[in-house]
A = this chain, B = another copy of it.
Amino acid sequence: MIELVLGGARSGKSRYAESVVCRQPGPWIYVATGRAWDEEMRARIARHQLERGAGWLTVEEPVALSQVLRDVGEKPVLVDCLTLWLSNLLLEEHNIPEATHTLLEVLTARQGLTVLVGNEVGLGIVPDNALARRFRDEAGWLHQKIAAVADRVVLTVAGFPLVAKPAGGKGTV
How many chain A residues touch the partner (CB < 8 A)? Answer: 47
Q: In the complex the two chains form, is A122's CB within 8 Å of B10's CB?
A: yes
Taken together as a complex, chains A and B put the C-alpha atoms of A139 and B124 apart, in Å, by: 12
Q: What 0/1 pattern do residues 128 to 164 of A give for CB contact below 8 A with B?
A: 1100100111011101101110000111111111111
CB nearest neighbor in B for A161: B172
| Neighbouring B residues of A172 by C-beta, 8 Å | 154, 160-163
The CA of A139 and the CA of B11, in the complex, are separated in Å by 10
Copies of this chain present in the complex amount to 3
> A8-B140, A9-B140, A10-B141 are contacts. A146–B123 as well, Cβ < 8 Å?
no
A125 to B171, CA, bound (A): 27
Residue of B4, B9, B156, B158 near A4 (CB, 8 A) is: B158
Interchain CB contact under 8 A, B160 and A171: yes
Contact A11–B140 (Cβ < 8 Å): yes
Q: What residues of chain A have their CB less than 8 Å away from a CB belonging to chain B?
A: 4, 6-12, 19, 120-129, 132, 135-137, 139-141, 143-144, 146-148, 153-165, 171-173
The 7 tightest CB contacts between A and B, nearest first, are: A10-B140, A124-B124, A8-B122, A147-B158, A9-B122, A123-B123, A160-B164
